[in-house]
Amino acid sequence: MRPYVFLVAVFVTSQVGGLAAAASIPKVIQFIIDGPIAHREQQNLVQLVGLLIVVAGIEFALIVSRRHFSGVASLRMETDLRNDFYAHLQSLQVSFHDNWQSGQLLSRAIADISTIRRFVGFGLIWFGQIFFTFAVVLVLMLQLDWELALLVIAFMLPIAFFSTVFHKRYKLIARRLQDLSGDLTTTIEEMATGVRIIKAFGRAPLMQERFETQAREIRETSLKGVGARADLWTTINFLPNLSLVGVLLLGGLHVVQGSLTIGGLVAFMSYVFMLIFPMDALGWVLSMSEECGTASQRLAEVMETHPEITDRPRARALETCVGRLEFRGVGFKYPKSDEWILRDLNLVVEPGETVGIVGRTGSGKTTLSYLVPRLYDMTEGNIFIDGVDVRDILLRSLRSCIGFAFEEPILFSASVHENLVMGRAIDSDEELKRAIDVAQAGFVWDLPWGLETRVGEQGYTLSGGQRQRLALARAVLGRPPVLVLDDPLSSVDVHTEAMIEESLAHVLEGVTGLLVVHRPSTLALADRVALIDGGTIVAVDTHTELMRTNALYRALLSQEYEEALA
């Protein structure tokens, strides 16, 4: 709330002023009863009633001010917090997202931040209201009749004990409930994205059963929370009301004895009523505070994760990128794993050269391609672009000179145009048309709204081959000096593959290309081929020479591959 200190000051001032006005009303009532009513003074009665109306009007205006400015401040805080959370997620390395369920991140970004906003905008305000009300009202009670005040305090003290018990019990329930909600969000998301698989395999009943089981757990946990809140609220509602019996009995005795006026007793009873509503709200505030505390912990689990792939202090931008790639002693293993995927890997790709990467399934070909734009950082060794370690290049500069096409094409729920440019500045429409032509993605002109046609979530309104061609067009758009292509033709037919390869051959002229190959036909694009085995480069040569001299290479590209491995 620090950025909104002015708004906070306004609503806190309004809160204190409103409380002062509310606390003065019983005093005015006491003056009315003990003065004009007791002495039958009509003129003073009208004046004091007018004063009562004025005080009530001031209280009303201050309450409106408090609610308005606290709402504005809390909503702005929510927006800032959600923006910061999303920006932080964007800054975290890919390995972080590999190990987190997307539903858990979604529930934190939406539900948990809203929970914090509700507590700050309402619960925290009421917590302050309860505290100030108790402090002010108890002082006024002591001034009226200290014995009655001590009686009320005696009835309120057990509330502290029950609140402590509730805190310990509800804290576990709140955490459990919010974690279960994250799991359920993940299940719903997986159902939505995997609906084709679910229907194709007839697994709808299985997924329905899984969903109902998780929903049942949420219901049972929620009912435990309802029980905990009901126990607390019943207690804290009962004790203040019970105190009214004692106040009426002892207060009535004091009036009879003459130590307290009737107006004083009415004022004291009004103060007791002023405490009843805050006590009724206390259970609600305590439950909100526990939910907010749990939400804060869940957010902190993400926000306190420090990005591992960041710009070094001495990192600089590349003024020009020629495109010379060098892998020197590169080793890599995934976080929390002791298995080396790559080890002591050495390779040089000269500017304008295209090198194909061939190897067994799981040999680290795709992992190698991820290291160039620093989607992951190497565990050991160095990767250089134009003689500069990629870790010494600003990430924005590094990734702006690399075009990347993944084996699994990823599109966003946006228009074709938005998916292609991804916010980049394009010099002309001709550049966009060129990229579409290279990827043989001319089908976009036949879509209902052309480039402005929305492709739906993950691009599932398009075929696999169409998605892959759009992803390839996105990679070559802007003529990046370095192209990293991870089997970009796996989902296209043979005829389209031949046309794309012909276009790519022209695109790759003068461009440094790293081509992860799974299909032998794609090797026609490579000037040289690097054979990877056991996490290292075991041979580098032309396709023809490797076919002549390397048995493993021949086996990998032959129809007898499985037999050769055996």
Q: What is the CATH number of domain 325-565?
A: 3.40.50.300
For residue 452, give the DSSP letter.
G
Name the residue among 184, 192, 182 with its Cα closest to residue 215.
Answer: 184
For residues 324 and 109, the answer to whether their CB atoms sit within 8 Å is no
pLDDT tens per residue, range 273-314:
887 777 767 777 888 888 888 899 999 999 999 988 889 888
| pTM: predicted TM-score of the whole model, two decimal places | 0.77
Please identify which residue in the block is written with the tokens 């009562």. Answer: 52
User: What are the backbone dihedrals phi and psi of residue 445, each rounded to the nearest 5 degrees, phi first?
Assistant: -70, -20
Structure tokens at 522: 């794609």
pLDDT tens per residue, range 359-410:
888 888 889 999 999 999 999 999 999 999 999 999 999 988 998 888 777 8
Q: How far apart are CA 437 and CA 72, in angstroms?
A: 51
Most confident option among 150-154, 239-243, 373-377: 373-377
Residue span(s) of the chain under CATH 3.40.50.300 come to 325-565
Q: How far apart are CA 96 and CA 302, in angstroms?
A: 9
Give the CB-side neighbour count of residue 257, counting CA atoms within 13 A.
Answer: 8
For residues 515 and 526, the answer to whether their CB atoms sit within 8 Å is yes
pLDDT(193) > 80: no
Q: How far apart are CA 183 and CA 181, in angstroms?
A: 5
pLDDT(128) > 60: yes
pLDDT of residue 85: 93
pLDDT of residue 490: 65
Rounded (10°) angle between helices 204-257 and 146-193: 170
pLDDT(424) > 80: no
Coil, strand or helix at 325: strand
* Pair type for strands 402-405 and 482-486: parallel
Please identify which residue in the block is written with the tokens 């998916």. Answer: 419
pLDDT of residue 559: 47
How far is C-alpha 425 from the chain's CA centre? 28
Stronger pLDDT, 521 or 490, i.e. the higher one: 521
Rounded (10°) angle between helices 464-476 and 429-438: 130
Q: Please give the helix or strand (H or E) that residue 357 lies within, else none.
A: strand 354-359
Structure tokens at 141: 């009670």
Name the residue among 305, 312, 354, 360 with its Cα closest to residue 533.
Answer: 360
Q: What is the DSSP string of 375-444?
A: SS--SEEEEEETTEEGGGB-HHHHHHTEEEE-SS----SSBHHHHHHTT---S-HHHHHHHHHHTT-GGG
pLDDT tens per residue, range 494-516:
777 777 777 777 778 888 999 98
Residue span(s) of the chain under CATH 1.20.1560.10 come to 2-303
Coil, strand or helix at 1: coil
For residues 49 and 35, the answer to whether their CB atoms sit within 8 Å is no
pLDDT tens per residue, range 48-96:
888 889 988 998 999 899 888 888 999 999 999 999 999 999 888 888 8
pLDDT(535) > 50: yes
pLDDT of residue 500: 75
Q: How far apart are CA 269 and CA 264, in angstroms?
A: 9
pLDDT tens per residue, range 440-491:
888 889 888 888 988 877 777 788 778 888 888 888 888 889 999 887 766 6
pLDDT(565) > 50: no
Q: Please give the helix or strand (H or E) that residue 546 lies within, else none.
A: helix 543-549
pLDDT of residue 233: 77
Name the pLDDT band for 563 (thresholds 50, 70, 90).
very low
Name the residue among 493, 494, 490 with its Cα closest to residue 519.
Answer: 490
For residue 120, give the DSSP letter.
I
Q: For domain 2-303, give the CATH superfamily.
A: ABC transporter type 1, transmembrane domain (1.20.1560.10)
For residues 136 and 322, the answer to whether their CB atoms sit within 8 Å is no
